[in-house]
Structure 1
Amino acid sequence: MFRLFLTLTIFLNFSLFSFSNEDYSKDYNLLGNKLKIIIKTTNLDKKVFKRIKKTLKNIELIIDPYNSSSFLYRFNALEKNTEISAPDLFVDTFNLMRNYNKITQNSFNPTAFSILTNNSSDLKKIKFYLDTGLYDKCLNISNITTKIRNVFSKKLSCTKISFDSAIHGIIVENIKYILERENLESFYISFGNTIYYKNFESNMPSYNPRIQEILDINQISLKKFSSYSYLDIADKKVRTFNINSASRKLVVKDDIVIIVSSDSPVNNSILSNTLNLLDFDTIKKLKFINSEIPILIIYKENDFYIRRYSKSFQQYFN
């Protein structure tokens, strides 16, 4: 009897061990940010992380503007009227940038990178360039032309672009695709300002401390989102989405919260960044604020906080 009991106990313990979910966590340093991936599953094929590493390397080799081996770096260094064939990721991302340039009526412009290449944290120098108009001819997305679908050229060699407004969403979207293709049902992905998780109870902080502080000041409590991005105001580094190309003004705001929560990490990332450039007084007139995309904007005006949100965001207020 004792032997039978012992056998049953060992079998039950083994069964519980075999079918209990484990957390497989991996951190990556990527494009100046930390990428965190947590997978909860009973048995993980470790090759998944090898596939992820390969995908990340391929993405870096296409859209890292500071890597001299990347396609984007070579494109930015291209002489005028020189044609170059672009990989699909570059083509798709550029088309996305061009669409948002139209949506924001040229307020957002990825060619703002033309004056950020060597001065991304020097506010005075960037402001000087904008005020004097030295780079006005360079800051024009129309300077980039396409032939067929993937053949690009530039009218001016000084025109340079960055995909910094969407890069976090692009990374998260690609990792999400890999994990879902592996039929993994519970995971968490966080990179920069973009988070996505599926069937996962996360204890990670939802936002950076400054955003949480603004939410607390306004006594706003939000439910958790499974897919969202926020405007990251944690540092003072200037990016393309801090320059209003239409008005040629530098836009670096401290007292602002923008949260976007749709099913698409890429759209969340670029919307949460580019909304920063719009006139909040007229934002209600914009079509997407009344769309199905959940959007929250909190900004300060005359020492008072004002909030704007789409109808679909109401469900996230506690």
Structure 2
Amino acid sequence: MKQVLQNLKSGATTVADVPVPSVSAGQLLISTSASLISAGTEKMLVEFGRGGWIDKARQQPDKVRMVLDKIRTDGLQPTFQSVVSKLDEPFPLGYCNVGRVTSVGSGVTGFQLEDRVVSNGKHAEVVSVPINLCARVPDNVSDEEAAFTVLGAVALQGIRLAQPTLGETVVVTGLGLVGLLTVQLLRAHGCRVLGLDFDSDKLALAKQFGAEVVDLAAGQDPIDVASHYSRGRGADAVLIAAATQSSAPIHQAALMCRKRGRIVLVGVTGLELSRDDFF
């Protein structure tokens, strides 16, 4: 079967011929009909792979600490060989899969052959997925629509963590797929939403969904706009759905929030925090 794989050392992405997976206990074997590209996450992985050793280290400081600990215990040469070997392993991309069940593992209940399901399966013709990461797709939902389920769940979890209430002002930083889904869910929840991005097309979509927007490419100051939009009180919550190595979105979120406001990081940013921003 075909599967999309990435080499994390070089950043090269290939469609490879690989064996069809077997179905294990508690899992479903699914024949794929649609698989959504999560542009932010997968672009970040490609850029990570294309970066040099120093860039990789900067993006993964926690892994650097693990490597240093391993050097102390195992020595430099074995550690280096282990890191190179890990980066050489093909990394499967994708986590928004829709398809039909072709085999059911032992102990599985609630699913049967030919069920149409959504899962966090990879970009592959056939995937094997634990049942806790699968859900049946209603008949009135198309495969293309169902493929957004996992990203919608990511957006929804961010909102649950922020715990917004009716009428609160919430800022969404980054209007990619997850950010735009977050905007729609917040509007359905009765929140006033302010969306931030550099892309005029994404800003236009956010406005269609009922949000006010800040065009960062036009030099608008999001902190001033957030203050005005919240009637001088500051935003009740900021959800960051951006993908960047910079810590600027965290700093910006702290300045946009009111006292005891909530900041939820749904995407990936730098986490160099300033104590002065929060006290």
Higher Cα Rg, which structure: 1
Instruction: Verify same fold: TM over 0.5.
Output: no
What is the TM-score when the length of structure 2 is the normalising length? 0.28
What is the TM-score when the length of structure 1 is the normalising length? 0.25
